[in-house]
Amino acid sequence: MLTKKILVTGKVQGVFFRQSTMLKAEALSLGGTVENLPDGNTVGIIATGSEAALAELISWCQQGPPGAEVKKVEISDQPLQEFKSFSIL
């Protein structure tokens, strides 16, 4: 199990990015959170799960849902965090 922080920048607020991320993460059996950040251009994700599932979520984040225009995805390793589910903050 690993925990990753994923910052997705671009036109990612107001396009159902958080909802779509939660659905994707749940399908991959990931735990964590997703939230809009105050800058208005970034979604922050903390996700815990297998390396393969995290890689698939990161790959999905490169495009996001229809309507999103992803400009940048930054990934960083985090100390392991346990989550019961995946939620929108």
Asked whether residue 89 is domain-assigned, the answer is: no
pLDDT tens figures, 10-21? 999 999 999 999
Q: How many domains does the chain have?
A: 1
Range of the domain at 70: 2-82
pLDDT tens figures, 50-76? 999 999 999 999 999 999 999 999 999
Asked whether residue 72 is domain-assigned, the answer is: yes
Q: Is 41 a catalytic residue?
A: no
Catalytic residue among 5, 7, 9, 36: 36
Catalytic residue among 6, 12, 18, 68: 18
Strand ranges of the sheet holding 69-78, from the earlier edge strand across to the other edge: 69-78, 2-11, 42-49, 31-36, 86-88
Asked whether residue 45 is domain-assigned, the answer is: yes
Asked if 59 and 51 count as a contact pair (C-beta separation under 8 A), the reply is: no
Asked whether residue 19 is domain-assigned, the answer is: yes
Asked whether residue 47 is domain-assigned, the answer is: yes
- Detail the DSSP E strand segments found in the chain: 2-11, 31-36, 42-49, 69-78, 86-88
Q: What is the pLDDT of residue 26?
A: 98
Q: What is the pLDDT of residue 16?
A: 96
d(CA 14, CA 36): 9
Asked whether residue 88 is domain-assigned, the answer is: no
pLDDT tens figures, 34-55? 999 999 999 999 999 999 999 9
Q: What is the pLDDT of residue 44?
A: 98
Give the predicted TM-score (pTM) of the model. 0.96
Q: Which residue has the tokens 């979520």?
A: 57
Which CATH number does the domain housing residue 65 bear?
A: 3.30.70.100
